[in-house]
Structure formats: C-alpha cells, structure tokens
Chain A
Amino acid sequence: MDQTTLNFIVVGASFALYFGIAFWARAASTSEFYAAGRGVNPIINGMATAADWMSAASFISMAGLIAFVGYNNSLFLMGWTGGYVLMAMLLAPYLRKFGKFTVPEFVGDRYYSNAARVVAVICLIVISVTYVIGQMRGAGIAFSRFLEIDIELGLYTAGFVVFVYAVLGGMKGITYTQVAQYCVLIIAYTIPAIFISLNLTGNPIPGLGLFSTMAEGQAGAGQHLLVTLDGLLTDLGFREYTATTNPWLMALYTLSLMIGTAGLPHVIIRFFTVPKVADARTSAGWALVFIALLYLTAPAVGAMARMNITTTMWPAGIEGEAVAVDELPDWFETWQVTGLLGVEDKNGDGRIQYYNDANPDMDALAAERGWEGNELVTFNRDILVLANPEIAQLPSWVIALIAAGGIAAALSTAAGLLLAISSAISHDLIKSVFNPSISEKGELLAARISMAVAICVAVYLGLNPPGFAAQVVALAFGLAAATLFPTLMMGIFSKRMNSAGAIAGMLAGLISTCLYLFLFLGWFFIPGTASFDSSQYLFGIPPTHFGPIGAVFNFAAAFLVSRATAAPPEHIQALVESVRIPRGAAAAVDH
C-alpha cells in the first residue's frame, strides 16, 4: 500500500470519528449550542481549549520557527502560554460567573450600552475572521500536501467537515470533536519526537533530551546537544543557537502575544462551558498542561531536526567533504518534489555545500574550498516537523498520523473561531440588538444559519486570501491586546468604569493599533501604500509588537473619559460586585 492511500485511510478514519461524535453531541438548545450546556468537565475543557488554541501554525510551523532563529523565537513559546496565567487570574473566572454566552454580551451588559456591544462585535469579527483565514488556508495546505489533492478541493473538504459537526452540534459538538482532535494531534507530534530524541541523546523525553548530552555514535558524542548545535551552526556561518539580540523588543513582543492570547474571544468562550467558577480557574491550568505537552516538545523537535539536517548535509563534519548529490537520503528526494527542500549544485562538484553565504566571514573559507554559494537553496521551516518521521525512519503509519494531526490542528482552531463569530452574530446582533423578541427556537436556527454562512465566508476567503495574509495575524493579536483585553479587565476590576470610558478606550486601542500597522505595512495592507518604512519605526518598535502600546492607549483613554463623566448606575456596580464572588454561579446558568 503506498503512502498516499495510507494517509487517506488514517485521515478518513479520523473524520469518521469526528462525525460520530457530532451525531452523538447534537445541540438541542441555545445553551448547548453556545456553551455546551455548561456541563463540560474542567479537564475535558482544558483538552478542548488546547486543541482550540493550537493551530496548524503551532503544529506544523512552530518547531521550525524556533529552530531557524534559536533563542530569540522562544518568545512564541512564552507569549502563547503566558497568556493563560492572565486568563486564569484576570478574566476567566469572572466572565464565567457573569454566566452569559459571548464576549460582546459581557461588554454590552456591563457597560449598559448597545454601542459598546456593537464595537465589541466589530473587534471580535475583525480578530476572528483574520485568524480563520489562516486556519482555512492551513487546512487546505495540509490536505493538499498529505493527500496529494488540490488546495481548492482541500478547502472544500475542510469546510464540509467543520460544517457537519459545527452546525449540528455548536459548542457541544465542537468541544467533543476538539478533544478527539487533541488526542490525534498530540500523538502525531510526540511519537516521532520521542524516536528522534532517543536516537540523538538516548533520552526518550524530547524536552529533557534537548538539555542532554549526545549519545554514542552521534556527532559530538558525550557533549551537550546545544553545545554541539551551537558549534555546528557557527562553523557554517549561522548565528549561534542560544544567542540574544535585542532583549527589550523580545520582551515587548512576548507581552504582546500574552495579552493578545488572553483577549482572543474564541479561547475566552471555552471557559463559559464549565459548570463552576472554580472549574474555570483549574480548567485554564489543564489547558496549559495539554498545551505544554506540545510546547515543551516543540523546541526539542526544532533543535534536533535542525541538527539532523545539518549533519545529513555534512556527514563527515564541516572539515570533511559535503554530502554527495547521489548520497542524499530518500526523504530528501520526496520533499524536494513538494518544493519545501531544494538543492542546486552551483560549483558543479557533485556535492551539496550548505552554509550561510550571506555572512562575509565565510567568504575566505568558501574561496579556499571552492564553494560558490549555499547549495541547499530551499529549506522551508515546516519541513522540520513534516519530514520528522522519515528522518527518524519511522514506519509509514506514523507519517499518516502526522497528516491526520496537522489536519486536526487546523480544523479544531477553525471550528472554535467560527463559533465565536457565529455566536456574536446570532446572539449579540440578532438577539440583543435587532430582534430581542426572537424565540429560543428561532435563535437556535439563527445560530445554525450564522455558522453556515461564516463557514462559507471562511472557505471563500481561504480560496481567495487577501494579499496581506501574513500581516493580518499580527493584526489579530494586536487588536485582541489593544481592544478586548483591557475592556474586559476594566469591566471586572474597576467599578467606576462607565460606558463612555469603555467605548473611548476600545476606539483608542482599535484606532491607534490600526494606524500604526497601516502606516508601516500599507493602508489596509495594500502593498506600496505604506507611509514609512521599517527604519523609521517609533522607538524601533515593529508593528507586530504594538499590542501592549495600544492597550496602554485603551487604558488611558478609558480612565480619562470615565473620570470626566458620571459613575455607572447602581445596578451595574452591583453587577461588578457579584461577578467578583463565585457564589451563585450555578443560578446564572439559565438566563
């Protein structure tokens, strides 16, 4: 049986599992559709949150993201996990106590204003739609790569699969499929990592292997893996793996990702599904446990895969000869076809020299040894995860598992985002603003229709991605950090905060963040319309790092405006008091 057929079988089996769960977990009420009936066990919710959170980018790209830059990109590890501490302490328990279904609903009710509600809906939709484009794209790419079908067909398939369980089951269906998807993706990620770690360091736990010594028979046996890797990379003219560049910018970007994470609506609503306030706190911890299983493995996978590929290129070390073209391993051939790896024998010596030809320090050595530039011309960072089972010479069913894992990671995140979008439309716009008298049945139908429309829009945007797809991810995190996070936090921590202050704050965060992005990345991201270039960044701050600064604008504007206007009414202050106290959460379940 060839690899593609096996991939089809494993991926097909995973879909059958998701459909089965969807049928079993059909939603019968709006409470089930929006919040899974608030009956989700905190550990189960933690697992679902982990799948909700970890996207195709975490699964396929993160190890490479770290491996190619080394220490500096640890900011992704810290930024995308540190946000859960903020979530557990500053938001989740209080929003659960509030006992409603969506993020804009809290904003609208707490700030007793439909204007605030609509601004929050707009922020939510901008954040979630930009995010979902990347997920649909990721799902399409995962399909096309593993199943050798067109990206278009892959996108339609992804849309169809999400359609079945999200429209049928809402949050309830999504929750239990996410649990299954988490199991698929973590097994797929961990198995190859364990074998590679065993092979290189003799330690079966990749996270420990990263800090262990090299096993017998490996390059640099007995020496620490990181020392060996640093040595290899500097010999080839690359930056040392563990080197620091600009610590202040790194800290700012980390903070931006942390508060962005805490402000992402599709993650926040997962904490509405647990039965109690105390569960919301522990559930955030469980989510981080399940995320950490992958995030503690990812840097090890990255470092080890980079080591493996480097030693493949230089089998006798850099002092010896480079690998001969006809001695390249089989997996090299396979991945060259996909365009993720590419070699070109520039000096025609029948060998492939891999080094950093952009580093002037390498020129003398290159001239002496007759190298005419780096010959590993394409080295896509995603290859570090995708080719892992082949590098470790694992059986073909493990490769099929990676296919199912990558697809599971993309689908689970897309479904969570789509639910956040559709519930904001059916619950916050239709039910709260346009048609408050809508019946329970009518709202459930509206929720299903919103979901179906959101999926169609997501598939369309995946097929025709706006040219600025890379920038908009920065926009999603920046906006979440600058708009929703401060507004939610002040709604809980400041009794004095009123509707005028909150609206002014959200607008200040929204406008300052968009303005900074547009000035440097182009107006509405249209190429060529940027007013300034990267050498003119204010205080050297890149637009991707702007989130915390937008949040400061939000807090400042909200504070000044709220102090200049009247305090919120008595019943709102009482609401804030009640949100802070866990007692009575169960009573708020059916509102």
Chain B
Amino acid sequence: MSDNSDNNAYWKANLRLMGFCLVIWALASFGFAILLRPLISGIAVGGTDLGFWFAQQGSILVFLVLIFFYAIRMNALDKEYGVDEE
C-alpha cells in the first residue's frame, strides 16, 4: 500500500508542476501576446510594443524554456519518488 500512496504523491506533485507550467504557458501566449497586450503596450521593444514581441517571438521562447524546465523537474521528481527508469 505504501508503494501506492507514494505513486499518488508523485502524481500530485506532477499535477502541481504541470499546473504551474500551464499558467505561464497561457500567460505568455493568450495573456501578454493577445488579451493583455493593451496593458503592456507602454513597454517599447525594438520599435514596437512588448505584446507584439511576445506574439512573434517571446511566447515561443517561453514555450521552449517551459518544456525543458518541466523535463528537468520531472527527472528530479522521478528519482525523488523512486519511479525513474533504471
């Protein structure tokens, strides 16, 4: 049974990490790049506003960082909960 509750704790930790990453995912794309663009329009970047930069480049860079961050954190969680692949 202890094995099972460990697995549950692992899954909960995974869900927390995933939730955190997806909030940033949504904030960078739907948020800064689209819906919140007017709020940050005062910040100038290379001849345009920050929202435009997020739409054309920033969001993609954020996605990249998120996937690698998630992968590295999950590798650590796998070890911590003893569910990594031998």
Residues of B within 8 A of A66 (CB): 56
Which positions 24-70 of chain B face chain A at CB distance < 8 Å? 25, 29-30, 33-35, 37, 45-49, 52-53, 55-57, 59-61, 63-64, 66-68, 70
Closest to B44 in A: A224
- Partner of A285 from B10, B60, B68 at Cβ < 8 Å: B68
CB-defined interface of A78-91 with B at 8 Å, one 1/0 digit per residue? 10011011001110
User: Across the interface, do A242 and B71 meet the contact criterion of CB distance under 8 Å?
Assistant: no
How far is A584 from B83 in the complex, measured between Cα atoms in Å? 9
Residues of A within 8 A of B10 (CB): 580-581
- How far, in Å, is B78 (CB) from chain A's closest CB? 5
Known: A71-B52, A213-B47, A582-B84. A285 touches B25 (CB 8 A): no
- Partner of B55 from A74, A89, A212, A258 at Cβ < 8 Å: A74
Chain A to chain B contacts (Cβ below 8 Å), 11 pairs: A85-B67, A88-B70, A89-B18, A211-B46, A225-B47, A226-B52, A227-B48, A254-B34, A284-B71, A288-B63, A583-B82
Closest to A275 in B: B85
User: Across the interface, do B47 and A285 meet the contact criterion of CB distance under 8 Å?
Assistant: no
User: Across the interface, do A582 and B63 meet the contact criterion of CB distance under 8 Å?
Assistant: no
A187 within 8 A of B: no
- Partner of A81 from B11, B34, B63 at Cβ < 8 Å: B63
User: Across the interface, do B46 and A78 meet the contact criterion of CB distance under 8 Å?
Assistant: no
How far is A82 from B67 in the complex, measured between Cα atoms in Å? 10
Residues of A within 8 A of B70 (CB): 88-89, 281
Nearest 6 pairs of A and B residues by beta carbon: A224-B47, A211-B46, A74-B55, A285-B67, A281-B71, A226-B47
- How far, in Å, is A388 (CB) from chain B's closest CB? 18
How far is A583 from B77 in the complex, measured between Cα atoms in Å? 12
The total of interchain contacts (Cβ-Cβ below 8 angstroms) comes to 141
- How far, in Å, is A306 (CB) from chain B's closest CB? 14
- How far, in Å, is B32 (CB) from chain A's closest CB? 11
User: Across the interface, do A211 and B85 meet the contact criterion of CB distance under 8 Å?
Assistant: no
User: Across the interface, do B22 and A85 meet the contact criterion of CB distance under 8 Å?
Assistant: yes
How far is A93 from B10 in the complex, measured between Cα atoms in Å? 15
Residues of B within 8 A of A (CB): 4, 7, 10-11, 14, 18, 21-22, 25, 29-30, 33-35, 37, 45-49, 52-53, 55-57, 59-61, 63-64, 66-68, 70-71, 74-75, 78, 82-86
Residues of B within 8 A of A584 (CB): 85
User: Across the interface, do A582 and B78 meet the contact criterion of CB distance under 8 Å?
Assistant: yes
User: Across the interface, do B71 and A285 meet the contact criterion of CB distance under 8 Å?
Assistant: yes
- Partner of B35 from A82, A247, A581, A586 at Cβ < 8 Å: A247
How far is A74 from B52 in the complex, measured between Cα atoms in Å? 9
A515 within 8 A of B: no
How far is A254 from B30 in the complex, measured between Cα atoms in Å? 8
How far is A58 from B70 in the complex, measured between Cα atoms in Å? 27
- How far, in Å, is A97 (CB) from chain B's closest CB? 9
- Partner of B47 from A77, A89, A211 at Cβ < 8 Å: A211
User: Across the interface, do B63 and A585 meet the contact criterion of CB distance under 8 Å?
Assistant: no
User: Across the interface, do A581 and B83 meet the contact criterion of CB distance under 8 Å?
Assistant: yes
CB-defined interface of A279-323 with B at 8 Å, one 1/0 digit per residue? 001101100110010011001000000000000000000000000
Residues of B within 8 A of A580 (CB): 7, 10-11, 14
A255 within 8 A of B: yes
A216 within 8 A of B: no
Closest to A228 in B: B47
Known: A78-B29, A84-B67, A281-B70. A211 touches B11 (CB 8 A): no
How far is A211 from B82 in the complex, measured between Cα atoms in Å? 47
Given contacts A224-B47, A242-B49, A254-B29, 10 further A-B contacts (CB under 8 A): A71-B55, A71-B56, A75-B55, A210-B57, A211-B45, A224-B48, A226-B48, A227-B48, A282-B71, A288-B63
A577 within 8 A of B: yes
How far is A88 from B21 in the complex, measured between Cα atoms in Å? 11
- How far, in Å, is B21 (CB) from chain A's closest CB? 6
Residues of B within 8 A of A212 (CB): 46
Known: A82-B29, A254-B30. A582 touches B85 (CB 8 A): yes
- How far, in Å, is A227 (CB) from chain B's closest CB? 4
A244 within 8 A of B: yes
How far is A281 from B86 in the complex, measured between Cα atoms in Å? 17
Most buried by B among A255, A583, A586: A583
